Amino acid sequence: GLTADAAEKEKEILNVAHRGASGYAPEHTLMSYKMGEQMHGDYIEVDLQMTKDGELIAMHDETLDRTTNGTGQVKDYTLEEIKELDAGSWFNEKYPEKAKTEYEGLKVPTLEEVFQTFGKNANYYIETKSPEVYPGMEEKLAEMVDEYGINKDTLLVQSFSSASLLKMNEIDPSMKLVQLMWYTSPAAISDAEVEAIKQYAVGIGPNSAMIDKAYVQKTVQNGLEIHPYTVNEKEEMQKLIEWGVTGIFTNFPDLLNEVKKGR
């Protein structure tokens, strides 16, 4: 059994609904995000791309091909053109056992629509994707956050690009930032890296498969949050919690809550 302290800590582990409850519904649709809320995810994860006419949309890939019936680069299409696409049917075709007719014809949401739908007090975990492809992305994000009065105490902005995070920090030093990391072999993090990241970020997000207990503990002991991605198996969630992670990105927020409750 857990001590009272450990049990209390475990409840605080952030449950980040990765692309929404994307294990159950087409990623980055309002329906997927709503399902994430219904499953008591603590955060809605939103990846950003930018249209030809400078609108921020929720999409993982730089291209339309995988998650819509369109083809080609997001940056070559206007929002009006992207709004004609079907962002749900691909899911039904790829996962027939999870298919639902209500997913057919779902639209690609703009960041604005996400803010309008979930409000200023929802917890957003927003990633600037391919910022080198989209000049002005950080400024636009900061404008939208201010326009919609999004609560910055709980807002997290993440990126693999430290340049993008540094830009974000310059535009609005009150934004809480998370440095994403991608490792292709067993990972270690140096004191110098920890110190450099602490200058602008509150935490790091490494891919889960390459980290170990020492990595997690070094990060946490240095006062950084650590939110590994993307963890969809209960055994792996349990292991990471035992190592002391402070949050987890998952496509199955319901499973993480079961683990947190010891089920």
Q: Which residues are catalytic?
A: 18, 60
Min. distance of Cβ 80 from Ca ion in angstroms?
A: 26
Residue type, 85: L
The interface with ligand G3P within residues 100-119 (CB under 6 A) comprises: none
Phi, psi of 78 (to 5 degrees): -80, 165
Q: What would the x/- binding string for ligand G3P be over residues 145 to 184, using CB under 6 A?
A: -------------x---------------------x----
* Of the candidates 260, 178, 222, the residue with the CA atom closest to the CA atom of residue 12: 260
CA dihedral 77, 80, 84, 86 (to 10 degrees): 70
142: helix, strand or coil = helix
With 0-12 CB in 10 A as exposed, 13-18 as middle and 19+ as buried, what is 235?
Answer: exposed
Complex with ligand G3P: residue 127 or 138, whichever CB lies closer: 127
Among 27, 47, 138, 225, the residue binding Ca ion under the rule CB under 5 A is: 47
Angle at the Cα of 11 from the Cα atoms of 211 and 221, rounded to 5 degrees: 45
- Out of 27, 127, 138, 254, which residue is the one contacting Ca ion (CB under 5 A)? 127
67: CB partners within 8 A, 6+ apart:
26, 27, 28, 59, 60, 61, 87, 90
Residue count at the site for ligand G3P (CB under 6 A)? Answer: 10
Footprint (CB under 6 A) of ligand G3P, residues 203-242: 205, 229-230
- How distant is the alpha carbon of residue 87 from its chain centre? 18
CB of 262 to ligand G3P, least distance (A): 26
C-alpha to C-alpha distance for 195 and 134, rounded to whole angstroms = 28
Interface with ligand G3P (CB under 6 A), residue from 13, 14, 17, 18: 18
**C-beta of 263: minimal distance to ligand G3P in Å?**
25
Closer to ligand G3P at the Cβ: 37 or 127? 127
- By a kind-dependent CB cut-off of 5 to 8 A, residue 260 interacts, out of ligand G3P, Ca ion, none, with none
Contact footprint for Ca ion (CB under 5 A): 47, 127
**Footprint on this chain of ligand G3P (rule: CB under 6 A):** 18, 47, 60, 127, 158, 180, 205, 229-230, 249
